[in-house]
Structure formats: C-alpha cells, structure tokens
C-alpha cells in the first residue's frame, strides 16, 4: 500500500497491535446491541428456513419431550444426532425449560449467537490488529451469509459463535483465557464436527496471538488451550456421543460439481465487493504482519474439502472470516477518504444486484437470488431481501412441505394399508408432527411411521396391489424428476379422468392431495384431470408451491372459481377454464397463487442438488427418480 492510501502508523486510525491495544467495551456493547437488533428483525418467528430445519426442530422437541438431554441410545436419530451433539442437547434443554414455539426458539437463539460471534470477532480484531469494533460490525452485516445464518435456527450458528469466542479468548493474556479458548473451540467442534478442519488455522492464531502473563516459548503457548480443549472434548464425548459419530452414508455429501454455482457460492454470500476488498486487504496483511497473512490462508482448508461437493455456501461459512478480517483491517488503516469510498463500494449491494441474468433494482434483486440446498442467498438488494425473509416469503417452500402432511392429518386421513403414497411427498415432516403432538399418541405415531415405511418401500411402483394411490401437490406437479414410464402413466390417468381430490378443503381448486389410478373409474373427474394436466403443462412438470404474492418472474398463476371469470375477463382472457376453475397470468384478489420457488429461467441451469437427486435412482426417499 502506498503512503497516500494507508494512514500513518502514528495516526489514531492506524491502531496498535496485540498487547498494545486496549479494548473499548462501550463500542463492543454498541456492536452487540446493533447485531442482535438487526438479526432479530431479519428472523421470521415461526417458519423453517432450510430443508433440514424442521427435522432438526423435531430432534430438539423429541429430546425435550423425553427429557433425554444426554442423548441416550434409545433416542431416535432424526438428523445427525451424534455429529451435532452439544447443539441438540442444550437446545433440547432450552426447549424443555421455556416451552417456547420451536422455530421461534431456534431462530432467535441464532440471532443471539450472531451478536456473540460479532462481538467476539470485534474484540479479537481490536486486540490483534487494532480494528475499531464498528468496522468489524459493518463488514459482518454487509455479508448476507452472516445475516442469514444468524437469523434462523441451525447448528453452525452455535459453532461459529463459539469459534469466534475462542479467537477472542486466545488473544487475551492469562492462563484462564487461554484455557477457555481451548474449551470454546472444543464446544464448537461438538456443535458441528467439521470445525476440526479449522484446527491448523486455530493453532496458528493461538501461536501468533496467544500470550501468558510473561513471554513464553511457542510450545508453552499451546499448553493451556490444549488442556482446555481436551477436557471439554472428553467430557462432552463421554456424556453425549460415546461412539464414533460418522457411521452412515447420511454424513456424506454426494453432490455434483457445478462451476457456475461454485463461483456464485464463493462471491454472493460474502458480498462481491468484500471479496475484492478482502483480496487487497490480504496484500496489506502481508506487508503488515506476514506470518499471520500465511496463517490466514489456512481458512481455505474447509473450502478445499467441500469444493467438489458444494451444494450450499453454509459449508464454507468460514470464508466470512477469510474475506471479512482483511477487509476490516484495511478499513481501519486506510485514510478517511478511502474509507468512505470502500464503504460505498460495499454498501451498493444493499440496494442493487448484478448477475448473469441482468442488473436489478431494489425490489427485483431480492427475487433473483442464488438457489442453494439451504435456502436462498441474495445477489443484492439486501434490504428488501431481509424484509422478505422476515415476512416469510422465502420460507413458503419449506412451510408447504410441513403443511401438506399437517393437512393430511388434520383432514382425517387414516394411516392404514388401504392407501400408499407415490411420487414425491414430504414424509420427512412426520417426525416434526409427531414430536409436536400433531399426530396424536404413541400408537398413532407408530401407525403413521408404518404408513410412511410401507409407501417408501414400494416407492414409484404404480402396479395394482390392491392399495389406492395418493399423490401430494408437490408429487403430481413434479414429474420431471421421475422415470418416463412413471410420468406417462400419471398423465394417462389424468387424461382419462381417473383422479379425485382426497379430503378436499372447501374452495380448494388445485388439490393438496389426490387419489389417482385404477381405483378411480374412468371419466369420474374429467375436468379435474384436464385442469391438472394444464397445471403440469404450465409449469413444465416441475415442482410448484403456493405463493404469498404474484411474481411474474416466478411464472405465478392465479386460480379462481369459474364463476368469477365474467368479472375478470374485462382485463384479459384466462389461461385456462373449466366448469369449476379458471387461471389467470396476473394478480387477482382472493385467488389461489402458485408458482416456481425461483425465476423460471433458472430451470435451464443444472444445480448440484437436482443432479444428486437424479442419480439417486435407488434411494427410498425418491424411488422413482431416474
């Protein structure tokens, strides 16, 4: 950096390093309050965000219901129980103690961890590089992955919070702080096992910045942290794990590599401007403190591990530190005029968005997000994106999965051997409904589990075995991921009118559940069959979800009773009409809205998630996939 850009080392904004730098607890408090407030505003209080959110919630409720906080061998393992043991155990204890609505508890607890992570990282950077806490706070809030991760319930928010605490404690002098640093990183590992990939970075950080009351040899600096780590790790292991945790295929990640998505996952979640500024900041770190600049590169180890299996940026969340730390250091040390320019360069993404699909303003940018296995990630328009997140727009897909099974139960379906489900259906919602008490007593839960197991065993087999066939809305709309034979048979039955709505709610035009097949006489419901065929044609046999608002880019359609057509025809003819229902390609007040979960143009791009599902032809969860 030239002297015209970087502030003089003697200037106040240049800051001091390590032991020379004292903490200003008032600014740390301001940072913590700001982080907690903004993360809580982004969080939705009652809806799941990612595909595994409801399953994790079920695990926590099951622990609370059974008071099984030590995770006994009798406890059902709904989702990687032994890989996230401390997260589950403490969350279950909190749920038992508070009795709070589970998604509220999980989501707002993550917001608290976000404030802890931000304050801890700010304290660490203040001690080590003299960075003002407000710079660290600004950089973290400018990275959407930080805001998203800490506004919904997940184990990595706990792990990242504890890891940041460990970095802050390791930079404090004294045996107690050093021991606590080791304990904190052990707790982080017990919240999410892949934190072990950060061991080289953590050791390097501790060697560079760890210090006792008096100067020590390098190996002595590791004694107290190592003791703290081993004690906590051993205690938690003996209490909660008790056996090797990686013992089944569910702990692996079999996703195909996609170069376009890989580039997107390494940039958009972290703010593209911060990615660029962070690179410049690393060059400044090389000049400022070369040993640390080399240690900093060890944060790339998790990225290297997951690179070929990258279906979500959550796997590389540690890039928040990789990009964020050098950006904050650079902001601290450059002159004020350059600070203002960098802040403006970073903040532009809060309003605008850019992708290979175009340049978007505040409202549209939040719609053209990057799809991931763990929910949407914005390309820009952060302010509107977080408003939609709080409102629940992006959660409607995961909520729809829950509601499909919830409605089947509420409408009185009996889980006996008269029916089985074919095609895609949200059977993974059953543990959540069971743990929340919505399935009934233990006997009813067992019956639903047997019903699910029986359906999954036969999967996509459409042969007549005496059972009547059910399909969910996401199942009959999503024929693109089934075999051609399966899809052809479903369309043939629809064309012959061999379909009936199953436990139809009054006014429901696109049934949530249907019965289909030879158990239904031909021409029993020709209009319904024709309507659903048009629905499949309209959405190219892709999975469709209810929507809260009409979005043209998502190919929304508005479905109304046929009796309303005459009043609506003045502004345009319907897309489809039969004796009972009609569809329009514009917003209609009071209509049932359906559409894709993301822009229609995305279906031209192959995602790792889709490619993975297409290869799982023998998987019981998607038995008819080709």
Question: What is the enclosing helix (H) or strand (E) of 472?
Answer: strand 468-472
Q: Range with the lowest mean pLDDT among 193-197, 329-333, 457-461, 563-567?
A: 457-461
CB atoms within 10 A of CB 435: 25
CA 185/CA 170 separation, integer angstroms: 10
Confidence at residue 2, expressed as pLDDT on a 0 to 100 scale? 46
* Residue corresponding to tokens 């009773």: 561
* Residue corresponding to tokens 């008819």: 624
Q: Range with the lowest mean pLDDT among 64-73, 154-163, 553-562, 600-609?
A: 600-609
Question: What is the enclosing helix (H) or strand (E) of 108?
Answer: helix 102-129
Confidence at residue 6, expressed as pLDDT on a 0 to 100 scale? 55
Confidence at residue 461, expressed as pLDDT on a 0 to 100 scale? 81
- The answer to whether 269 touches 143, Cβ cutoff 8 Å, is yes
Structure tokens at 221: 């600096």
**219-264 per-position pLDDT tens digit:** 788 999 999 999 999 999 999 998 887 644 444 444 556 778 889 9
Which residues contact residue 560 at a Cβ distance below 8 angstroms, ignoring those fewer than 6 apart? 509, 568, 581, 582, 583, 584, 588, 590, 591, 592
DSSP string for 138-163: HHHHTSHHHHHHTTS--HHHHHHHHH
Under the banding of pLDDT at 50, 70 and 90, the label for residue 265 is very high
**397-428 per-position pLDDT tens digit:** 999 999 999 999 999 999 988 999 999 898 88
**172-220 per-position pLDDT tens digit:** 988 999 999 999 999 999 999 999 999 999 999 999 998 755 566 777 8
Q: 419: which strand partners?
A: 468
Please calculate the CA angle 554-559-563 and round it to the nearest 5 degrees.
Answer: 160
**132-175 per-position pLDDT tens digit:** 999 999 999 999 999 999 999 999 999 999 999 999 999 998 89
Structure tokens at 247: 């013992």
> How much is the mean pLDDT over the chain?
89
CA 591/CA 582 separation, integer angstroms: 10
CA 362/CA 507 separation, integer angstroms: 36
> Please, where are the H alpha helices in 289-419?
290-296, 301-306, 319-333, 336-347, 362-365, 382-391, 396-410
Q: Give residue limits of the domains in the chain.
A: 25-245, 359-391, 396-545
**54-103 per-position pLDDT tens digit:** 999 999 999 999 999 999 999 999 999 999 999 999 999 999 999 999 99
Under the banding of pLDDT at 50, 70 and 90, the label for residue 311 is confident
Closest-CA residue to 398 (of 432, 365, 364, 446): 432
């Amino acid at each position: 950096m030239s002297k015209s850009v970087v502030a003089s080392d003697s200037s106040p904004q240049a800051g001091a390093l390590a032991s020379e730098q004292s903490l200003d607890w008032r600014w740390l408090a301001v940072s913590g309050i700001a982080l907690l407030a903004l993360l809580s505003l982004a969080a939705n209080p009652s809806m799941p965000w990612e595909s595994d959110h409801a399953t994790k919630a079920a695990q926590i409720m099951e622990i609370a219901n059974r008071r099984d906080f030590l995770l006994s061998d009798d406890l059902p393992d709904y989702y990687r129980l032994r890989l996230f043991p401390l997260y589950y155990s403490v969350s279950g204890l909190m749920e038992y103690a508070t009795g709070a609505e589970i998604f509220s508890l999980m989501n707002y607890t993550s917001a608290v961890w976000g404030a802890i992570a931000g304050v801890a990282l700010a304290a660490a950077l203040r001690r080590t590089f003299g960075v003002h806490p407000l710079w660290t706070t600004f950089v973290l809030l400018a990275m959407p992955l930080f805001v998203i991760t800490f506004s919904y319930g997940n184990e990595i928010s706990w792990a990242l919070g504890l890891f940041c605490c460990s970095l802050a404690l390791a930079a404090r002098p004294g045996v107690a702080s050093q021991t606590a640093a080791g304990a904190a990183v052990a707790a982080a590992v017990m919240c999410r096992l892949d934190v072990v990939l950060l061991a080289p970075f953590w050791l390097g950080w501790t060697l560079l910045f760890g210090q006792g009351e008096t100067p020590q040899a390098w190996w002595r600096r590791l004694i107290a942290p190592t003791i703290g780590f081993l004690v906590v790790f051993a205690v938690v292991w003996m209490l909660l794990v008790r056996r090797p945790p990686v013992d089944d295929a569910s702990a692996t990640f079999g996703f195909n590599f996609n170069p376009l998505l890989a580039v997107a996952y390494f940039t958009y979640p972290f703010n593209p401007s911060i990615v660029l500024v962070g690179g410049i900041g690393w060059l400044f770190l090389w000049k400022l403190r070369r040993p640390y600049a080399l240690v900093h590169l060890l944060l790339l180890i998790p990225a290297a591990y997951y690179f070929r299996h990258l279906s979500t940026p959550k796997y590389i969340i540690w890039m928040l530190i990789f990009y964020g730390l050098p950006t904050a250091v650079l902001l601290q040390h450059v002159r004020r005029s350059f600070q203002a320019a960098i802040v403006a360069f970073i903040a532009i993404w809060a309003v605008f968005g850019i992708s290979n699909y175009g340049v978007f303003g505040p409202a549209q940018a939040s719609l053209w997000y990057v799809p991931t296995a763990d929910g949407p990630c914005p390309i820009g328009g952060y302010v509107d994106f977080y408003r939609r997140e709080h409102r629940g727009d992006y959660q409607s897909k995961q909520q729809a999965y829950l509601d499909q099974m919830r409605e089947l139960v509420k409408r009185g379906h009996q889980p006996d051997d008269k029916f089985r489900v074919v095609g895609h259906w949200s059977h993974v919602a059953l543990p959540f409904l069971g743990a929340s008490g919505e399935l009934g007593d233990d006997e009813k839960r067992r019956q639903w589990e047997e019903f699910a197991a029986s359906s999954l065993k036969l999967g996509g087999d459409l042969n007549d075995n005496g059972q009547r066939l059910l399909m969910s809305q996401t199942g009959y709309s999503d024929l693109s991921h089934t075999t051609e034979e399966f899809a052809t048979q479903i369309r043939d039955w629809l064309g012959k009118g061999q379909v009936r709505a199953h436990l139809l709610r009054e006014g429901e035009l696109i049934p949530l559940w249907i019965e289909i097949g030879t158990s239904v006489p031909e021409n029993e419901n020709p209009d319904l069959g024709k309507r659903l065929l048009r629905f499949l044609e309209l959405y190219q046999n892709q999975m469709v979800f209810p929507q809260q608002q009409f979005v043209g880019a998502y190919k929304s359609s508005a479905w109304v009773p046929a009796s309303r057509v005459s009043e609506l025809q003045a502004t345009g003819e319907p897309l489809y009409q039969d004796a009972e229902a009609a569809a329009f390609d514009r917003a209609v007040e009071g209509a049932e809205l359906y559409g894709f979960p993301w822009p229609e143009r995305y279906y031209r791009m192959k995602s790792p998630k889709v490619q993975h599902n297409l290869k799982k032809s023998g998987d019981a969860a998607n038995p008819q996939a080709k």
